[in-house]
Amino acid sequence: MAKKKRTKRVQKRTGRRTAPRKEPALRITKQRRQHIEALAHALAAISPSTTRGNGFCVQKVAADMGLKTLWKKQSNKRKDIAHLLEQVFRHYPRKPKKLVLEIVRGGINWMANKGERVTDEQLAAIAEPMKALRFPIENELRKLDRPEPSRVRDPSADKVALLQNLGLHPALTDDCLEMFKDGHFNEAVRKALERFEKRIQDIVGDHKTSGRDLMAKAFSEQNPLIRLNALKSANDRSEQEGFKFLTMGAMSGVRNIYSHGDVEQMTPTDAIERLAFVSLLFRRIDAAIDDGAGS
């Protein structure tokens, strides 16, 4: 009774009602913080913490859920997410599961747009710490739709800059480079090798033979139609033979494979390496022609 009277006296003096103090929804112990950090690590693997514009990111999910004030930029994206999660677990007992599910939904689509699929292992890495924090989520994660990854991936600006700064052979710097910029990595590599094949056909005057048969015929170390050198020494013959096998392998092991539309999209780094390799083939042919050894 005395406590109620004191509360009424406070209300009379201030003119305001005193809200009852809220207890934290979840006391963050050392062990719980470890679980939250593991959860943040798993979510960071499938989603960005921030992004330019209005694209998907954890920060935007938090804002859409009315949790904008809990967001505080940290030193990296894992810590960004961990800080947000800790604040939500601490203060909003009904929102952790909903927040995590929204991040995972967005992350699944974000990964698919990059050409990657969120795996069962990645979902398990999210479910495990949530269960340890007494928010079982495995069933909900299992029911989430995981669309087929897009075959078009937008390369990052640093990957585009890297390819542009490599100084590719001029035969590759028009549509092959544009295909790469547009995310069509398989197509860029396939086009580059088809263009190399056409170059060899033009040089030897044979447009009926193609692929590895064309390369074997053009660069035969016994009777080559295109000589890389004078073929006078053992090293000369080894180079000729090695180049023959390189080009035959490029036709069989790269061009033919990526001519099929059902092949998984390669990564930007894979595409850069292959385009650089084709550029090397072109330049070696140019050098042979310029030196007069090509015929």
Write out pLDDT tens, residues 164-184.
999 999 999 888 999 999 888
> For the whole model, what pTM was predicted?
0.54
pLDDT in the model for residue 148? 83
- What average pLDDT does the structure give for the chain? 88
The answer to whether 36 and 82 are in contact (CB under 8 A) is yes
Lowest mean pLDDT among 16-30, 222-236, 240-254: 16-30
pLDDT tens by residue, 195-232: 999 999 999 999 999 999 999 999 998 899 999 999 99
The pLDDT score that the predictor gives to residue 24 is: 58
| 4 or 238, greater pLDDT | 238
Mean predicted confidence (pLDDT) in 98-120: 91
The string of pLDDT tens digits covering residues 111-162 is: 887 777 899 999 999 999 999 999 999 999 999 999 887 766 778 899 999 9
pLDDT mean over 32-56 = 92
Least confident of 7-16, 77-86, 159-168, 181-190: 7-16
Query: Residue 92: how many CB atoms within 10 A of its CB?
Result: 17
For a pLDDT cut of 90, what percent of the chain falls above it? 69
- Which residue has better confidence, 85 or 153? 85
User: Which pLDDT score, from 0 to 100, does residue 156 have?
Assistant: 86
Q: Alpha carbon of 73 to those of 77, 86, 166: distances in Å?
A: 8, 14, 35
Which structure tokens are listed for 77?
């994206």
- The radius of gyration of the chain from alpha carbons, rounded to an integer in Å, stands at 30
**What does the block give as tokens for 264?**
């998984």
Backbone φ and ψ of 54, nearest 5°:
-110, 20
pLDDT at residue 21, as a whole number: 52
- If you average pLDDT over residues 84-101, what whole number do you get? 95
What pLDDT, on a 0 to 100 scale, did the predictor assign at position 54?
Answer: 80
Sign of CA dihedral 145, 147, 149, 155: negative
